[in-house]
């Protein structure tokens, strides 16, 4: 039986990975960050969970969760924040502490899998040249910079730890709250573009992502390498919105094309609101930076060649499954 340790199991992607590992009947243990939200679930009550401060190396060194572990999936972190320090503390320090724990405890891992982000590589320069792992990394905001910094840490340990770094594109699926905002907008029959109507993006359905994570983990070909995981097809924001209207059987009442400077202004006000309330749900300056590039697209070709990655769900099917889940769970009325 495979002995697996996972961080971030209470998050959107982590919860899907945990469910799959549970179904595989692995000996799975969850490291739950002490400051995280308490999200109980059936799966979490059936497996070993260890609540710990990931910022404290000594806590990790004395944690029984690491005993005889063979695989570590490191998914925990934040995608929303205001300052460089917030992203560093959430995305870099826990990564460093986990790697140090593996080194100091002399764990014989078969794989350390770090879930990074397309943001660590930065946007592509043209539609004909989607970002590949061989391209120079050029993140454009704090989140991407923190993920790249964590990647560099992981690579430093690659001489003593078998590592794999995965960079998913924008991820959607049941339980996701970011794409939920788009679905809710369509539900009001509004069509709003923030200067991004013709911007291209790569996306991936969460079930395809989980399949890619597991294939990469158990492949010898992926040791020491970095991969993008995404759907084969890139699309514009207008394409995506039109697909959602068709799936939800709606027709737009109004189409609003806002110039990009409106997003800049909204970002400043969102930043101010977030500083006052300590909430990071609204548009802020970091999110505005993410939305500006013309080509947030990447290539999964290396993943196909090295471990047979393939997407099983078309974009339309994945979005339809996601919409049905939102309705069943009354996230959309």
- Residue 34: what pLDDT? 76
- 185: tokens are 């907008």
Q: Which CATH architecture has domain 3-175+203-230+297-313?
A: 3-Layer(aba) Sandwich (3.40)
User: DSSP letters of 130-187?
Assistant: -B-TTSPP---SHHHHHHHHHHHHHHHTTTTS-EEEEEE-EEE-TT-SHHHHHHHHHH
Vertex 198: Cα angle to 196 and 204 (nearest 5): 80
CB 7 within 8 A of CB 31: yes
- What is the number of alpha carbons within 13 Å of residue 202 lying toward its C-beta? 28
| DSSP per-residue string spanning 200-235 | EE-EEEHHHHHHHHHHHHT-GGGTTEEEEE--S--E
Tens digit of pLDDT for each residue in 278-303?
Answer: 565 555 545 655 667 899 999 999 99
C-alpha 246/C-alpha 238 separation (Å) is 12
CB atoms within 10 A of CB 195: 18
The helix, strand and coil proportions of the chain, stated in percent and rounded to the nearest 5, come to: 45, 20, 35
**Residue 114 three-state SS:** strand
Average pLDDT over the chain, rounded to an integer: 89
pTM of the shown model: 0.90
For 23, phi then psi, to 5°, come to -65, -25
- Provide the residue ranges of all domains of the chain, joining segments of one domain with +: 3-175+203-230+297-313
- pLDDT tens for 194-234 read 668 889 999 999 999 999 999 999 999 999 999 999 999 99
| Residue 259 pLDDT grade (very low, low, confident, very high; cuts 50, 70, 90) | low
265 pLDDT above the threshold of 50: no
Q: According to the model, what pLDDT value does residue 83 have?
A: 84
What average pLDDT does this structure show over 321-331?
A: 97
Exposed/middle/buried for 121, CB within 10 Å: 0-12, 13-18, 19+? buried
Q: Which two tokens stand for residue 60?
A: 């990790």
Nearest to 178 by CA among 197, 201, 151: 201
């Amino acid at each position: 039986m495979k002995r697996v340790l996972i961080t971030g199991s209470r998050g959107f992607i982590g919860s899907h990975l945990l469910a799959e590992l549970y179904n595989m009947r692995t000996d799975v243990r969850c490291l739950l960050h002490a400051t995280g939200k308490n999200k109980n679930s059936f799966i979490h009550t059936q497996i070993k969970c260890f609540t710990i401060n990931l910022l404290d190396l000594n806590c990790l060194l004395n944690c029984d969760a690491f005993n005889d572990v063979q695989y570590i999936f490191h998914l925990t972190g934040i995608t929303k924040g205001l300052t460089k320090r917030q992203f560093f503390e959430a995305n870099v320090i826990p990564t460093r502490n986990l790697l140090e724990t593996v080194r100091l405890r002399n764990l014989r891992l078969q794989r350390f899998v770090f879930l990074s982000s397309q943001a660590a590589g930065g946007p592509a320069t043209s539609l004909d040249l989607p970002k590949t792992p061989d391209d120079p990394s050029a993140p454009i905001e704090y989140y991407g910079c923190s993920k790249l910094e964590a990647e560099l840490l992981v690579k430093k340990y690659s001489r003593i730890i078998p590592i794999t770094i995965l960079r998913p594109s924008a991820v959607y699926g049941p339980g996701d709250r970011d794409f939920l905002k788009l679905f809710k907008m369509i539900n009001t029959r509004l069509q709003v573009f923030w200067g991004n109507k013709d911007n291209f993006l790569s996306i991936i359905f969460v079930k395809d992502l989980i399949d890619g994570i597991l294939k990469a983990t158990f492949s010898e070909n992926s040791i020491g390498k970095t991969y993008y995981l995404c759907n084969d097809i890139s699309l514009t924001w207008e394409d995506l919105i039109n697909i959602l209207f068709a799936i939800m059987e709606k027709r737009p009442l109004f189409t609003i094309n806002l110039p990009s400077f409106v997003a800049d202004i909204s970002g400043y006000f969102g930043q101010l609101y977030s500083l006052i309330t300590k909430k990071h749900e609204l548009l802020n300056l970091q999110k505005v930076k993410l939305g500006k590039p013309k080509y947030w697209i990447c290539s999964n070709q290396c993943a196909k060649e090295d471990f047979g990655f393939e997407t099983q769900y078309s974009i339309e099917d994945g979005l339809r499954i996601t919409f049905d889940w939102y309705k069943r769970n009354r996230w959309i009325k």
